[in-house]
Amino acid sequence: MNSLKEKYGEWGIILGATEGVGKAIAEKIAKGGMNVILVGRREEKLKELGAEIEKTYQVKSKVIRADFSLSNCTDAIFEATKDLDMGFMSYVACLHSFGKLQDTDWEKHEQMINVNIITFLKCFYHYMGIFAKQDRGLILNISSLTGVTSSPYNAQYGAGKAYIKKLTEAVGYEAEKTNVDVMVATLGSTITPSWLQNQPGGEAGEAAIKAAMTTEDTIDEIFDNIGKVHSLVVGERNRNSVKHWQTDMTADEAAAYMGRFYE
């Protein structure tokens, strides 16, 4: 089951690998024979994950500590991977902040621009350049339903997720006649540690958990569709939601639907 390594190369990098979807992606490519580079803020947790992955999947791992909200954070990342045979890049990191646009500190907005736009674009640009040159590689960027509806009281997050979605869709088309596979996966509620922390208790929480997807199902569906689809909304339920918003609702109605969750 070394298919990913054979197809794309020795090493894969996951930006935002500590837990949840990023962690599951790291495990998936390790299962496919690739060595993993785990990038995030919590170095100790990443080292534990790396050791676990090495043991379970018989691959190598590296950990790079990086704060994606700092504008020069990519320097150390690119330096650390420059002599490796790179074949996979996944940008999972994201930052949100609840509140009206103008009530959120500018400093927080800058951090969101860095995590959701600039560091994302730098990583995409850098590894896409390498993959295009060697005509081999896989890009997997993560977007969210909030980028489809827009996201009142979390406006920058939703707008950043729309940016990631539209940029990756375009580059997916640009790379179509090459051996570089490019996908953006748009996720709805996915059961991860950080998502669980934000759920209410009692019946409402139970209902939310019942409607959400597991990370395992999410990752399996993504990897089943690589090479077939550039822009994938993951999960039948989420695809039906997008269809409903885009065919039966105006953009204002879709925004209101999402906005009411935070009121």
Q: Return the number of the residue (9 or 147) whose C-beta is nearest a second copy.
A: 147
Helices 155-174 + 106-113 axis angle, to 10: 20
If one asks whether residue 96 binds a second copy (CB under 8 A), the answer comes out as no
Is residue 184 a contact partner of residue 143, using CB atoms and an 8 Å limit? yes
Helices 43-57 + 20-31 axis angle, to 10: 30
Q: Return the number of the residue (31 or 165) whose C-beta is nearest a second copy.
A: 165
Q: Return the number of the residue (84 or 117) whose C-beta is nearest a second copy.
A: 117
153 among known catalytic residues: no
Q: Which of 169, 217, 220, 221 binds a second copy (CB under 8 A)?
A: 169
β partners of residue 62: 37
Distance CA(99)–CA(204), nearest Å, equals 22
β partners of residue 186: 143, 233
Binding map of a second copy across residues 120-159, x = CB under 8 A, - = no contact: -x--xx--xx--x--------------x--xxxxxxx-xx
* Closest CB 210 distance from a second copy, rounded Å: 27
Q: Which of 84, 113, 191, 208 binds a second copy (CB under 8 A)?
A: 113
If one asks whether residue 91 binds a second copy (CB under 8 A), the answer comes out as no
Is residue 28 a contact partner of residue 104, using CB atoms and an 8 Å limit? no
DSSP secondary structure, 186-225, as one string: EE--EE-HHHHHTS-SHHHHHHHHHHSEEHHHHHHHHHHH
Q: Which of 38, 64, 93, 162 binds a second copy (CB under 8 A)?
A: 162
Range in contact with a second copy (rule: CB under 8 A) among 37-45, 57-65, 206-214, 255-263: 255-263
Residues 215-234 that bind a second copy (CB under 8 A): 229-231
DSSP secondary structure, 98-144, as one string: -S-GGGS-HHHHHHHHIIIIIHHHHHHHHHHHHHHHHT-EEEEEEEE
Q: Which of 83, 107, 203, 252 binds a second copy (CB under 8 A)?
A: 252
Is residue 89 a contact partner of residue 13, using CB atoms and an 8 Å limit? yes
If one asks whether residue 179 binds a second copy (CB under 8 A), the answer comes out as no
* Catalytic choice (8, 57, 153, 157): 157
Instruction: List contacts with a second copy (CB under 8 A).
Output: 100-102, 106, 109, 113, 117-118, 121, 124-125, 128-129, 132, 147, 150-156, 158-167, 169-174, 229-231, 246-247, 250-252, 255-256, 259
| Catalytically annotated residues | 157
